[in-house]
């Protein structure tokens, strides 16, 4: 039954986040960005590096660090807030990947607190909440993970962002699935599909 729920969850995710472009187009863009970076550091743009960083799950830690450092060196002092947010997100991801649960959870908390103090109720806050929630759930802190997903869902509703509404609902469903409440998990997965 649990395997069936996981399969259902992945199917729902594939429908919700399906990209109309063929997969090879994304691969070609990544290969081009990698080629431009390796060819000549002077032509390296922040956007090329971010494209490579988006493959964060498949990158070894040392490569991820290298790309983060390269992006920071390319990013100008007059960088847009979205660029700064992207860098902060990848740093949080790297901290979670490399460090203990306690340290990465504390780091997420400090980033979240900083964003809230700045009055930043935006997509970046939702992304960091999702990173924290997934870390909590993977370490069996279900109630705390659920609270993060609910907070991100409320923020996504406030921002009227359908992608993050769905992602937050899938997160809540995942927590219920991990807690063994399979019917509630299915309800949340179906609810996410409706968006």
**What is the CB-side half-sphere exposure of residue 84 using CA atoms within 13 A?**
8
Going from the C-alpha of 87 to that of each of 25, 50, 73, 105, 185, the distances in angstroms are 24, 8, 11, 18, 33
Q: Where are the domains of the chain?
A: 2-194
Express each pLDDT in 60-109 by its tens digit. Answer: 778 778 877 777 777 776 677 777 787 787 888 887 777 777 877 888 88
Contacts of 83 (CB under 8 A, 6+ apart): 46, 50, 75
| Token digits of residue 37 | 């970076």
Polymer length of the chain? 195
- What does the alpha-carbon distance between residue 107 and residue 75 come to, in Å, rounded to a whole number? 23
- What does the alpha-carbon distance between residue 157 and residue 21 come to, in Å, rounded to a whole number? 27
> Domain 2-194 class?
mainly alpha
Express each pLDDT in 6-57 by its tens digit. Answer: 555 555 545 444 444 444 444 555 566 566 655 655 445 777 777 777 777 7
**pTM (two decimals):** 0.66
- What does the alpha-carbon distance between residue 50 and residue 53 come to, in Å, rounded to a whole number? 5
Q: What is the DSSP letter of 57?
A: G
Q: How many CB atoms lie within 10 A of CB 147?
A: 16
């Amino acid at each position: 039954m649990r395997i069936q729920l996981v399969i259902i969850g992945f199917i729902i995710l594939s429908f919700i986040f399906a990209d109309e472009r063929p997969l090879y187009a994304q691969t070609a863009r990544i290969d081009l960005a990698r080629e431009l970076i390796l060819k000549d550091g002077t032509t390296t743009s922040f956007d090329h590096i971010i494209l490579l960083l988006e493959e964060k799950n498949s990158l070894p830690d040392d490569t991820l660090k290298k790309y983060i450092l390269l992006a920071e060196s390319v990013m100008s002092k007059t960088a847009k807030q979205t660029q700064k947010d992207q860098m902060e997100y990848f740093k949080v991801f790297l901290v979670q990947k490399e460090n203990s649960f306690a340290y990465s959870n504390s780091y997420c908390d400090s980033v979240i607190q900083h964003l809230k103090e700045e009055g930043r109720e935006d997509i970046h806050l939702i992304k960091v909440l999702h990173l924290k929630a997934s870390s909590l759930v993977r370490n069996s802190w279900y109630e705390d993970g659920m609270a993060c997903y609910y907070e991100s869902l409320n923020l996504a509703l406030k921002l009227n962002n359908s992608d993050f509404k769905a992602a937050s609902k899938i997160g809540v469903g995942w927590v219920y699935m991990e807690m063994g409440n399979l019917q509630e998990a299915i309800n949340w997965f179906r609810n996410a599909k409706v968006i």
